[in-house]
Amino acid sequence: MQGDEPLIEPDTIDRAVNALIEDSEAMMATTCEMIDTAADVLSRSVVKVVMDDQGRALSFSRNPIPFPNQAVRQHGSIEAALRNQPALLFSFRKHTGLYAYRREFLLEFAGWPRSVSETAESLEQLRALERGVTIKVVEAAAPSIGVDTKKDLERVRAMMEGKMEVIA
């Protein structure tokens, strides 16, 4: 669990661990959630993930992926496309800051040099993908909040002090 995700549910952790148990080809597992606001799609603080039909990661990015090229062409910008076609939101998934690793793989992975795309995006999981590593992605048991801004920190502090709903 990454330090900027203090509200990850224990069931979400179990899902990531079970994904490794159930998929012997996966060396890593992680979780994702639906994105439900255009602001999150556009935010560079929110990492997006794209998976194949078996739930294996194809790519991670701080940019909107998969990029809705036709809708953007039609509406002139991604902001306009998301505003005019709200159903586009359902094509995006937020990566949750949680990883499960097979021990042997983690020891090997830690010794690999940073890759070009990892450096460009500041996303360590791209180092694994570029080397052909299978990363299993499963849906989180409940939404979480990444603490990437001062506003996020204030919101999480309020939740932990019981001053507001855990996930509004």
pLDDT at 8: 78
Confidence of residue 168 (pLDDT cuts 50, 70, 90): very low
Q: pLDDT, tens digit, for every residue of 7-44?
A: 678 899 999 999 999 999 999 999 999 998 999 999 99
Confidence of residue 163 (pLDDT cuts 50, 70, 90): low
pLDDT of 6 over the 70 cut: no
pLDDT > 70 in the chain, percent:
92
pLDDT at 1: 58
Q: pLDDT, tens digit, for every residue of 65-76?
A: 999 999 999 999
CA–CA gap between residue 50 and residue 30 (Å, rounded): 12
CATH topology of domain 10-160: Spore Coat Polysaccharide Biosynthesis Protein SpsA; Chain A (3.90.550)
Q: pLDDT, tens digit, for every residue of 52-68?
A: 999 999 999 999 999 99
Half-sphere exposure (Cβ direction) of 123: Cα atoms closer than 13 Å: 23
Confidence of residue 165 (pLDDT cuts 50, 70, 90): low
pLDDT at 131: 96
Q: pLDDT, tens digit, for every residue of 74-120?
A: 999 999 999 999 999 999 999 988 899 999 999 999 999 999 999 99
Nearest to 95 by CA among 141, 33, 7: 33
Peptide bond into 66 cis (omega under 30): yes
Within 77-143, where are the H helices? 78-84, 103-109, 116-121, 125-130
pLDDT at 2: 62
Judging by DSSP bridges, how do beta strands 57-61 and 28-34 pair with one another? unpaired
